[in-house]
Structure 1
Amino acid sequence: MGHREDLLEGAKRCLLEKGFARTTARDIVRESGTNLASIGYHYGSKDALLVQAYVALVEEWGDRFHPGADGPSMTPARSLDRFREVWTSVTDSLPESRAVWLLSFEIVLLGDRMPEVRRLLAEAQEASRSGLIPLFTDVPEPDLDKAVVDTEGRFYLTLLQGLMLQWIFDPGTATDAAQLTDGLRRVLEGARGTEAGAREAE
């Protein structure tokens, strides 16, 4: 690996061990075996490097849930069964991914004090939204329409962030995949009933 890759791997290890606010440029240099000048040359700033490292950690976690990661899913895309399957995989991963999600919430809380970090992460959220959709639909990410990313992608990302907050706060009372799926089913049935009633009234 070159210095760029070494820095990224070192920054990832620092984030998991010390978090965002407590990681210094010297920590990264020591962990990566590089030098301070390399951070500015390859990433522009320590914070920009840490944001890239954080995004890489989230992507590595998310890659495990893409259809085909452990063999193709036999559950139909866009079905409630697929919806439950994906969220079950997400919650089952929490013991080993807890550090990544704690890091996520630390960064959110730092947003007001670190506007540059907030800007960089806001740009990364577009990729997060589009990356979630194939889990549920089997539509490859490059084929997604922007309107789908701005609606379905936002829906899935909002569910993910809310679910993670619950599981980090108290796993014993957090919503599980079956409850989330049943909630969606009830919402869909209610919406269909309301629409059918409106058509009959016409």
Structure 2
Amino acid sequence: MGHREDLLEGAKRCLLEKGFVRTTARDIVKESGTNLASIGYHYGSKDALLAEAFIALVEPMGGVFEGSRAEGGAAKGSLERFREVWGGVIEAVPESRPIWMMTLEVITQGERLAGIRELLAEAQKEGRSGLAALFTGIEESELPEDLVESEGRFYTTLLNGLMVQWLFDPDSATTAEQLTEGLRRFIDRTRDEGGETGRAPGA
């Protein structure tokens, strides 16, 4: 590997071991076997490198969620599909825990991580798109913008809240079944009250 790849791999290891705040440029240099000048040359700054390393750590998690979808046979946009996907997300909590802990670090240490926060905020749209594709079964390249900005934000909000619960206290955290039952009851209530017949988001 070249210095750029070495730096990225070193930064990923540092993040997993120390998180954002405690990782220094010298830590990354030591872990990657490179030099300080390489960080600026290849990434512009330590914050930019750490943000890219974080994104590289997050990307494989999409494959875990995709695997849960592939194992099920529920119809796209159905409540069963909704339950299946959230079940897969929850099953991946032990593996994804370090990633979510880093996400919370960015949230709670926002002022100290302003540069990283801004870079990661720009990457959130891609995350919304991936979630929307996962639940609806529509290829990301074919997702209409309004769907990403509505359903994608809906799923992202649920994901963030669910992960906070599972990180805080797994024993009392919401299950996929409970989340789905809550949505089903909401849909039934809107139908009973004379609203439009509801379907799960993405239906």
Same structural fold, with TM-score higher than 0.5 when normalized by the shorter chain: yes
Q: Does 1:141 align with 2:140?
A: yes
Gap change, CA 1:29 and 1:19, over 3 Å in 2: same
Q: Which moved more, 1:146-155 or 1:52-61?
A: 52-61
1:112 Cα deviation after fit = 2.4
Shift of 1:11: 0.8
Decide whether the 8 Å contact of 1:111 with 1:118 is kept in 2: yes
* Residue 194 (structure 1) aligned with residue 193 (structure 2): yes
Partner Cα separation in structure 1 for residue 182 and residue 28 of structure 2:
44
- Residue in structure 2 matched with residue 46 of structure 1 by the alignment: 46
Task: Decide whether the 8 Å contact of 2:64 with 2:92 is kept in 1.
Answer: no
Instruction: Tell me the distance in 2 between the aligned counterparts of 1:13 and 1:20.
Output: 11
- Cα offset for 1:8? 1.2
Q: Which residue does the alignment assign to 1:200?
A: none
Q: Following TM superposition, by how much is the alpha carbon of 1:4 offset from its aligned partner in structure 2, in angstroms?
A: 1.5
Is there any run of 5+ residues in structure 2 with no aligned partner, and where? 197-203
C-alpha distance in 2 between matches for 1:45 and 1:159: 33
1:56 aligns to what? 56
SS in structure 2 at match of 1:21: helix
Cα shift readout 1:138-182 (whole Å, capped 9, x = no counterpart)? 111111111111100000000000000000000010001000000
1:177 aligns with 2:176: yes
- Please give the TM-score of this superposition, normalised by the length of structure 1: 0.91
State the partner residue of 1:80: 79
For the 8 Å contact 1:66–1:134, the answer to whether it is kept is no
Any idea what SS the aligned residue of 2:65 has?
A: coil
- Superposition TM-score, scaled by structure 2 size: 0.91
State whether residues 162 and 173 of structure 2, in contact with CA within 8 Å, keep that contact through their aligned partners in structure 1.
yes
- Letter of the structure 2 residue corresponding to residue 90 of structure 1: V
- Matched residue of 2:21: which SS? coil
1:16 maps onto 2:44 in alignment: no
Give 1:70 deviation, angstroms.
8.1
Equivalences, count: 196
**Would the alpha carbon gap of residues 84 and 70 (structure 1) be closer, same or farther in structure 2, given more than 3 Å must change?**
closer
Report the Cα distance in structure 2 between the residues aligned to 1:145 and 1:183, rounded to whole angstroms.
27
Partner of 1:110: 109
Match of residue 122 from structure 1: 121
Q: Does structure 2 retain, via aligned residues, the 8 Å contact 1:83–1:136?
A: yes
Q: Structure 2 CA distance, aligned partners of 1:151 and 1:196?
A: 19
- Aligned CA distance change for structure 1 residues 196 and 125 (closer, same or farther; 3 Å): closer
Closer, same or farther: CA 70–166 of 1 in aligned 2, 3 Å: closer
Residues of 2 paired with 1:196 and 1:175: CA distance?
A: 27
Counterpart Cα distance in 1 of 2:125 and 2:69: 26
Alpha-carbon distance in structure 2 between the residues aligned to 1:72 and 1:139: 17
Q: Identify unmatched segments of 5+ residues in structure 1.
A: 198-202
Q: Measure, in 2, the Cα distance between the counterparts of 1:196 and 1:29.
A: 59
**Aligned partner letter, 1:120:** L
